[in-house]
Structure formats: structure tokens, C-alpha cells
Structure 1
Amino acid sequence: MSSILTNSSALTALQNLSNTQRSLSKTQSQISTGLKVATAADNSTNWSVSTKMKAENSVVGTIKDKLKENSALVKTATAALTQIADTLTKMKEQATQAGDVDGTSGYNEVNKALAGLAKTLTGLIDGASFNGVNILNSATAGVNIVSGWGGATFTTIDLTSQDLKTTLTTAVTAPTTIASKANAETLHAALDTGLTAVREYAADLGAVQNQIDAQSEFLESLSNSLTNGVSSMVDADMNEASTRLQALQTQQQLGVQSLSIANQNSQMILKLFQ
């Protein structure tokens, strides 16, 4: 039935065109943003889960950065310990030479060498600072390195500090001046004690470094998994979106033509009365 009051064909064509334009607008938004879920209105479940995963990934990123910072701290201290051990070894060599010295002049030369090495030792301990933190002296307490979280609490790697300045000063300078074979033997024993303390602490730092490296590797994998998980839920498939865009553009053109044809029906009725 044809009516001059209601053009059903035009209404149907207009509705179809409006649907096509809405789909076209959504597809164009996906292409411009790269997201199929940009807001909760697009898919409330995926948006909620992906938002939580993004927040978790942000926390992971912060922990990764702090692990890198603390790794640098440990490496700085470890490098210093290597030099400290070398310096203590050189002091042992001087103490050994002092065991065969005859006469005061010989001891004077050894004592001068030991004094210089003692200054080097102090400089190494004081210089083992990273970002204002030095774990080789008494000025700094232990560091709790945040490495992750479990439930409602953070997990940490315990990094203890050592008062090496006091430890080594007590051990090394007990005989402040070598003036006899007995002094040299006492110093040699003290240096052995100091080297043992340095080696043990270096081993502790090595274990901490291994923990940091392992946790950093895990967090890198976790971050990648979270990133890929978010992508699978909210990222648009650009190949699919591009193909759909072309199809919708064609539908839009056809819809406009269909609406134009439907609107001509009224004109056709008028011709019946001419």
C-alpha cells in the first residue's frame, strides 16, 4: 500500500542507514584509537579486568625500577669489596715482608706503605655510596628491597649492611706501628680476619644480587604477560577493523541511495494525479 502520510520504505531505509552509521562511527573510533574497548560502555567486563591488569602492570614496573636501583647499589658495594680485598692482600704482603725486616729503617718503609694502604681502604669504604646509600659503613641500616607482593603484603629481599670501617679498622690498626716480628705476625692474623669478613659479606651480596636478577627476570615475564593479556581484551584487530570499515562505507553509500529511492515514492504518487 502506498501512503502520502507515511513512507514505510523511507523509514526502514533511514533506520538501516542510522545503524550503518553507528557501526561505521564505532569502527572509525577503533581505527583511530587502536582500541575495541576504550570505555566500560564498550565491554564492561573486559574494561574492568583490563583496568585491574594495567594497575598491576604499573606496580610491576615500579618494582622493576626499584630492583634496578638496588641492583646498582649491590654492584657498587661488590666492586668496592673486590678492591678492599685486594688492598687487604697487599697489606698482608707488607706484613709478611716485615717478618724478615732487620732494623728500624726497614720497619719505617713498611709502616709508610701500610699507612698509604690504610687510607686507600678508608677511601674505598667511604666511596662505596650509590644514591646516598652506603651499605659498607655504620651510617646506613639494612635495606628491605621490595621484590613483589603476595596477598596484601609486599615481599622483600633483605640486604644487610656492614660496619666494615669499624671492623677493618679494629683488625688492621690493632698494631698501629710495626716495630717487631711479633707486631707483623699480629697484623698478619688481623688481616686474615678482615679478609674473611670481606669475603663472607661479598658472598652475602652475591646471593642478594642473584635474587634480584631472578626476580627482575620473573617480573619482566609477568609484565609481558599482563601487557599481552590487556591487549587481547581491549586492542582492536586492525586488519579486521580495516576490512569492516570498507564494508560499512559501501553499506553507507548503498543506504543513502536506498533512502533516496524510498523518498521518491511520494513523487511517484503525485504523478498519478497529473
Structure 2
Amino acid sequence: MASILTNASALTALQSLSATNKNLSVTQARISTGMRVAEASDNAAYWSIATTMRSDNKANSVIQDALGLGAAKVDTAYTAMNSSLDVVDQIKQKVLLAKTSSDDNRAKIQTEIATLQAQLKDNIAGANYAGSNLLQTDSTDTANTKLTVMTSYTRDSSGKVSIGTIDIDFSKTRLIDSDAAGANTGMLDTEFTTAGAGAVTASILTLDVKATGLDGTDFDDMLKGVEDALKKMATGAAELGASKSRIDMQKDFVSKLSDSIDRGVGQLVDADMNKESTRLQALQVQQQLGIQALSIANGNAQSILSLFKG
């Protein structure tokens, strides 16, 4: 039935063209943004997951920065600890040499020891990074007893967030006690007393091999004090070395985890550009055909006029 009031063919063609234009708009938006889920209205579930994971990945970026800072602090302390170990070992050799030396030679040896003691203080004072010195800390400062390095940011299935850390106890790395009252609990400033005729009280930083009246027992006790310090320092170096290794491994893991999350988010929301470009071409053809179909449908209505021509 031909009607001048209702053009069913034109209505059908118009609906088809409108649907094509809508799909074309979506495809063009995907191509221009590179995303198939750019807003919650595109896919609420995927958009929500992607938004949460992006937020967590920003936290991982903070963790990476914290690990980098922590690694630098620990590496600085580790380097200074190893250097100090070498210096204390040299002091041990000088004390051993002084045991059987004359008073004149002991005075010369003490000059060398004093130089090594000054070197130790310089090494430790220089082991400062970003305001932290793990080798020179205050034993009476109960508010600061350890270095805490953030290592992870995790979210469980219920949404609860937890932060992982690596803690380095200052008491295990302290070479010099910075307590103003002179607590002297560090590995190098802890005092020991010799039991010989000299009966001196000293630490690695203050021992004096030219003191009056020193005998073999005094030197044996000095050597024992140096050996005790070396043993503690070796343990401290091992503590720092283990922490350094763990921080480095965690840095590598967090970096890979961050990349993995980025890939996972991409799988959810990124557009397949090959697919979308092919779809764009098909929709452009459909749009052209739809325009032609609408034009034909509108032309059919015009043919009714020929019925009234004489």
C-alpha cells in the first residue's frame, strides 16, 4: 500500500542509518582514544577493575621509589661498613706488632693507629644518605630504633590493604653511639679493660699502645677487644648485605609486577586497533549504503505524484 502519510521504507532506512551512525561514533571514539572501555558506561565491571588496578599501580610506583631510597641508604652503610672492617683489621695488625716492640717503636705505631682511628670516624661520618646514617645512631632514642623500608602494597579479596616492610635494627649496625650522654654501645666505642700491669680502659677508637706499663696481658686483651669488634662488624655487614640483596630483588619484582598490571589492564580496556580500523571501514560503507537506501525510500514517495498527472 502506498501512503503519503507514512513512509515505512523511509522509517526503516532511517533507523538502520541511525544505528550505523551510533556504531560508527563508538568505533571512532575507540580509535581516537585507543580504548574500548574509556568510561564506566562502556563496561561498568571492566572499568571498575581497571580503575582499581591503576590506583594500585600508582601505589607500586611509590613503593619503587621507597625501595630505591632504601637501597641507597643500605648500600651506603654497607660500603662504609666494609671499609671500616678493613681499617679495624689494620689496627689489629698494628696492636699485634706493638706487643713485642720497644717503647720508641710503640710511639710510632700509635701514630699510625691514631691515623686509622681518624679514618674510621671519617668513614662512619660519611656514611650519611638523605639524613640517615645506619652506622652512627643514638642508643637512647627509643623512637628511632630501626630503618623501615616499604617493600609492597597488597590488597586482599575483601579489599583490605597491607604494607610490607624490611626493617634494619640499628643495634645490629651501630659502630658509634651518638648518644650525647656517652652511652658508648657501638661496636667501635664500647670500652674494654685490660687485665695486665697497665690496666687500661679503652675502645677501638681510643686504644693507645704507648701507654705506660703495658705488658703482654694488656696487649692480649686489646687484641681480644679488637677481635670482638671485628666479629660484631662482620655480623653487621652480613645484616646489611642480606637487606641490600632483598631490597634489590624486591625492586626487580615490583618493576615486573607493575608492568604485568599494566598489561592486565590493557587486556581489559584497550581497543584492538586492527579490529577497530576494519570495523570503521565496514561501518563507513554501511553508512553510505544507508544514505542511499533512505534517498531511495524518500524517492518512492515522490513517484505517487505521477499518478495524478494527466
Deviation at 1:63, TM superposition (A): 1.1
How far apart in 2 are the matches of 1:226 and 1:173?
52
Question: How far apart are the structure 1 equivalents of 2:261 and 2:228?
Answer: 49
Partner of 1:172: 204
**Contact kept in structure 1, 2:10 and 2:298, CA below 8 Å:** yes
Q: Distance in 2 between matches of 1:64 and 1:20?
A: 47
Query: What is the SS of the residue equivalent to 1:5?
Result: coil
Residue 45, structure 1, aligned to residue 77, structure 2: no
2:222 aligned to which of 181, 187, 195: 187
Q: Which runs of 5+ in 1 are unaligned?
A: none
- Give the secondary-structure state (helix, strand or coil) at the position aligned to 2:176: helix
Residue 93, structure 1, aligned to residue 102, structure 2: no
* Contact 1:174 1:187 (C-alpha < 8 Å) held by counterparts: no
Does the 8 Å CA contact 2:28/2:280 hold for their aligned counterparts? yes
What amino acid sits opposite 1:17 in the alignment?
L
Contact between 2:9 and 2:297, CA under 8 Å: does it hold in 1?
A: yes
Q: Using the TM superposition, give the Cα deviation of residue 272 of structure 1 relative to its aligned residue in structure 2, in angstroms.
A: 2.4
Residue 203 of structure 1 deviates from its aligned partner by 0.8
2:196 aligned residue:
none
1:113 is matched with 112
Alignment of 1:54-203 (within 5 A): 54-104=54-104, 106-139=105-138, 141-149=145-153, 151-161=160-170, 162-166=173-177, 167=186, 168-170=188-190, 171-179=203-211, 180-182=214-216, 183-203=218-238
Q: What's the TM-score, normalizing by structure 1? A: 0.92
| Amino acid in structure 1 at the alignment position of 2:292 | Q
Structure in which a larger fraction of residues adopt helix = 1
Aligned to 2:241: 206
Instruction: Give the TM-score, by structure 2 length.
Output: 0.82
1:24 match: secondary structure: helix
Letter in 2 for 1:160: D
Q: Tell me, what secondary structure is at the counterpart of 2:137?
A: coil
Asked if structure 2 preserves the Cα contact closer than 8 Å seen for 1:60 and 1:148, the reply is yes
Cα displacement (A) at 1:177: 4.8
SS of 1:143's partner is strand
Amino acid at match of 2:169: T
8 Å contact from structure 2 (residues 70, 149) kept in 1: yes
Aligned mates of 2:230, 2:237 — CA distance in 1: 10
Q: Residues of 1 paired with 2:239 and 2:48: CA distance?
A: 43
State the 1:172 CA deviation.
0.6
Shift of 1:100: 2.8
Structure 1 residue 96, shift from structure 2 partner: 1.9
Structure 2 stretches lacking a partner, 5+ long: 139-143, 155-159, 178-185, 191-202
> Is the Cα–Cα contact under 8 Å of residues 27 and 280 in structure 2 kept in the other structure?
yes
The letter of the residue matching 1:220 is S
Residue type of the alignment partner of 1:81: M
Q: Decide whether the 8 Å contact of 2:76 with 2:127 is kept in 1.
A: yes
Partners of 1:76 and 1:173 lie apart in 2 by 21
C-alpha distance in 1 between matches for 2:229 and 2:207 = 14
Identity of aligned residues (%): 39
- Determine if contact 1:57/1:226 at 8 Å carries over to the other structure: yes
Q: For structure 1, which segment, 218-227 or 23-32, has the greater mean C-alpha deviation from structure 2 after superposition?
A: 218-227
